[in-house]
A and B are shown apart, each in its own frame.
Chain A
Amino acid sequence: MAQRGERGAQARILAWLRNLGDALGRPVLAVALAIIAGAIVILITWPDKALDPFSNIFSAYGALLTGSFGTPISISNTLVRVSPLIFATLSVAIAFRAGLFNIGAAGQMAVGAMAADIVGLTYIHWPGWLLVPAMVIASIVAGALWGGIVGFLKAWRGAHEVVTTIMLNWIAFWGTDYLIDGPPFTAPLGVNQTNPLPPQATIPLVADVWNKTLGSFLPKLDTFSYTVDVSILVALLCIVIYWFITSRTTFGYEVRVIGQNPKAAKYAGIPIKRNILFVMLIAGAFAGLGGALRLMGQFSYQLTATAASTDPTGFDAIAASLLGRTSPLGILFSSLLFGGLRSGSTNMQVVAHVDPNLVLILEGLIIYFMAADFIPVFRRLLPPWLRPRRRPALVVPPDAPIASAVNGDADEEVQYSAIAERQKEI
């Protein structure tokens, strides 16, 4: 009897382990492989000649870690990077759920930030309680519009979302540069920046809020060191909203069906076109809001020309959303990872003389390792009890067609890339 119970418990633990392995195996493996590949890059280039190449690897990764999560201040700096990244990742992830590959988060952020900036600089005399919500709403509307164009073109005209998002990104980059560089918003000295937002149009730092509330009887925080603003809290709230939309609403369910099996969705009478439009509206809204809050939360409160096109957040968001496999917790942790890599990379450069662009290499590799079918190779290497179970074939086999044509024929059936199916499978 006792033995049986033990065996039951053992089976349960093993099952639990397997589930955990299923969920975490691939992301952990992808990150590990990328770190190893990055180490090889450091080993070959050997940037810090004062150390031997192997110590250089450890000094680089050590600096990366301490620079991102080593001290409270570095954690705060990391959160500054994480907050817009969460918004962008949510934008990419919710589109993934519908099988759409939204690489337009960068453009949607740029448009959102610009809209907020226009409102903030135009209605400069409005009080904060009116101005801040107006800016936030403007950014949400602008971002949603930018994403909505993609959804509309996809659903009604069959234009492939990857192509349209690339085009809209560059239209957004150059278009916002036009607005930033010219009157009436540009700063007087011709520095390719807009005027700073009026003080009442900004959102407070977390440290400020702390000092005014709990700080009155607890130790106060130094607002010069802890520069993370309250947008991180909004970001966390948005993750909850994302969770609610995707797992607790009919819309979320329908979107998932569309992403995993468009044909089934069609036969089930799910309004595919409308849902695709909505999902891209929401995606754009997330990104637009993120862009605006970054503008409103961080010092100088200005937009700089060409900053949008060189901002890596859009790239990071794709990687983070693939790595987090579009689950709310996954998004949170992978955003923390990539935000940490970004903010730690400057320390890595100072301490170990490794160029921060190493992070981009790691990111690209992680995307590859998440998307490519390495798992069968590694599965064979694992001991049998650790091998992930094969899931029942509700989803397509790994070698089924993945991306649809670049732009399908709208009059026929709307074509969907099966990335979400892929997501499920991996």
Chain B
Amino acid sequence: MFFQVLFQGLTSSNTWQVTLEFAALLLLPALGGVISERSGVVNIAMEGMMLTGAFASVMVTLAANNFGLSSAICVLFGLLAAIVAGGLMALLHAYFSIQFKTDQIVSGVAINIIALGLTSYLLFEIVPVGVPSLPDRLRLPVPPLGPLANIPFLGTVLFQQNVIFYITLLLLFGVQFLLFRTNIGLRIRAVGEHPQAADTAGVNVRLLRYLCVVSSGLLSGLGGAYLALGVAGLFNPNMTNGRGFIALAAVIFGKYTPLGAAGACLIFGLGIALSYALQGLGSTANVINLLNTLPYIFTLVALVGLVGRTTPPAADGIPYDPASD
């Protein structure tokens, strides 16, 4: 029975579609995490940045809709708001951890708490009863890809995805290229490995770190918008429900590289998609809860070094002080 359902799940195009959807959802904040950690700033606040992004996207989309703007413009505003909101939270993190040299982990925890508090608080003040949900026309669209979408299996899996999915794909290769094939990527990695040396070579350590942390917020905010405007179509308090932490797990599991993180996100996404497929099992549907632990168990195993150890950038988490040696 169990294996039958599992087999059905694995062969259904729907499962793989959901897999890719969730992989992209996790990958956006994970890419942000990779950039931030590579520049030497620990970021455990993707969860909070995502949540803020999700909240801002829904609220701004609905507000723009109330102004009577056209649907496409509303969604665009929502998307922008999510990115800006995520970026602002990241700016807070950057300001404290770079300027004040606050412990980056403490700052990350504080951001997660503030994001949860602020979004739930504002949600109650704006929408006292119920949850704000979006009609279909105010959600992120699935772009019509014509004949491609009609290919039997691949069409459903690859070409009926949300528009953000394709953007994420571009971003993935963009970030990989940026980090490992460009001058600025080399600088980012240098700043994360040995800021003193980078500084001596004329790299502006603080500026670069600011940029990296803020872009991690932009990406996480976009991820939040994908979750709220694309996947869910509503905003719930604490709707990210640990996804930002799975993204963090993906960053570590993927050995701090964009492609590695993408691979990790695929594995975690498959776990989530399978858990949906297994919901058909009825009384043993409870197995979902166990499957949900898998991303975290994988990451622990990776941390312990059973499947090849992951090593963070050498200066990750250490505030840069030009005066120290």
Interface residue from B44, B104, B114, B237 paired with A361 (Cβ < 8 Å): B114
B110-A364 in contact (CB<8A)? yes
A168-B316 in contact (CB<8A)? no
A315-B113 in contact (CB<8A)? yes
Contact code string B282-323 (vs A, CB < 8 Å = 1, else 0): 000011011011001101100111000011111111110101
B124-A355 in contact (CB<8A)? yes
Contact code string B238-255 (vs A, CB < 8 Å = 1, else 0): 100110011011001000
In the assembled complex, A47 has its CB within 8 A of some CB on chain B = yes
A264 proximity list for chain B (CB < 8 A): none
* Listed stretches B9-17, B72-80, B115-123, B164-172; interface member: B115-123
CA distance A393 to B248 in the complex (A): 36
Given known contacts A181-B289, A365-B114, A372-B96, A157 and B304 CB-to-CB distance under 8 angstroms: yes
A401-B304 in contact (CB<8A)? no
Query: Taking the nearest CB of chain A, how far is it from the CB of B76, in angstroms?
Result: 26
CA distance A398 to B292 in the complex (A): 40
Given known contacts A177-B289, A373-B100, A402-B318, A170 and B242 CB-to-CB distance under 8 angstroms: yes
B105-A405 in contact (CB<8A)? no
B289-A368 in contact (CB<8A)? no
B104-A309 in contact (CB<8A)? no
| A380-426 contacts to B (CB < 8 Å) | 398-407, 409, 417, 419, 422
* Listed stretches A158-166, A232-240, A288-296; interface member: A158-166
CA distance A174 to B290 in the complex (A): 6
A315 proximity list for chain B (CB < 8 A): 109, 113
| B87-140 contacts to A (CB < 8 Å) | 96, 100-107, 109-114, 116-118, 120-122, 124-125
In the assembled complex, B50 has its CB within 8 A of some CB on chain A = no
CA distance A330 to B239 in the complex (A): 34
Given known contacts A178-B289, A368-B110, A372-B100, A399 and B311 CB-to-CB distance under 8 angstroms: no
In the assembled complex, A320 has its CB within 8 A of some CB on chain B = no
In the assembled complex, A101 has its CB within 8 A of some CB on chain B = yes
Query: Taking the nearest CB of chain A, how far is it from the CB of B300, in angstroms?
Result: 5
Of chain B, the residue at the smallest CB distance from A161 is B105
Of chain B, the residue at the smallest CB distance from A408 is B312
A371-B303 in contact (CB<8A)? no
B103-A417 in contact (CB<8A)? yes
A363 proximity list for chain B (CB < 8 A): 113, 117
In the assembled complex, A29 has its CB within 8 A of some CB on chain B = no
| A287-346 contacts to B (CB < 8 Å) | 305, 309-310, 315, 318-319, 322
Query: Taking the nearest CB of chain A, how far is it from the CB of B239, in angstroms?
Result: 12
A168 proximity list for chain B (CB < 8 A): 296, 300
Query: Taking the nearest CB of chain B, how far is it from the CB of A403, in angstroms?
Result: 4
A47-B125 in contact (CB<8A)? yes
CA distance A167 to B296 in the complex (A): 5
A407-B303 in contact (CB<8A)? yes
A419 proximity list for chain B (CB < 8 A): 103, 106
In the assembled complex, B42 has its CB within 8 A of some CB on chain A = yes
A153 proximity list for chain B (CB < 8 A): 300, 303-304
| A343-360 contacts to B (CB < 8 Å) | 355, 357-360
In the assembled complex, B21 has its CB within 8 A of some CB on chain A = no
B248-A364 in contact (CB<8A)? no
A367-B110 in contact (CB<8A)? yes
In the assembled complex, A249 has its CB within 8 A of some CB on chain B = no
In the assembled complex, A182 has its CB within 8 A of some CB on chain B = yes
In the assembled complex, A221 has its CB within 8 A of some CB on chain B = no
A406-B317 in contact (CB<8A)? yes
B114 proximity list for chain A (CB < 8 A): 360-361, 364-365
CA distance A359 to B313 in the complex (A): 36
7 nearest A-B pairs in the assembled complex, by CB-CB distance: A360-B117, A364-B114, A178-B289, A364-B113, A355-B124, A403-B317, A357-B120
List 15 A-B residue pairs with CB atoms under 8 Å apart, sorted by A's residue number: A157-B305, A167-B300, A170-B292, A170-B293, A171-B300, A174-B293, A182-B286, A305-B289, A357-B117, A360-B117, A399-B323, A403-B104, A404-B317, A405-B315, A405-B316
6 additional contacts, CB 8 Å, given A365-B110, A373-B101?
Answer: A163-B248, A164-B300, A168-B296, A174-B289, A360-B113, A407-B311
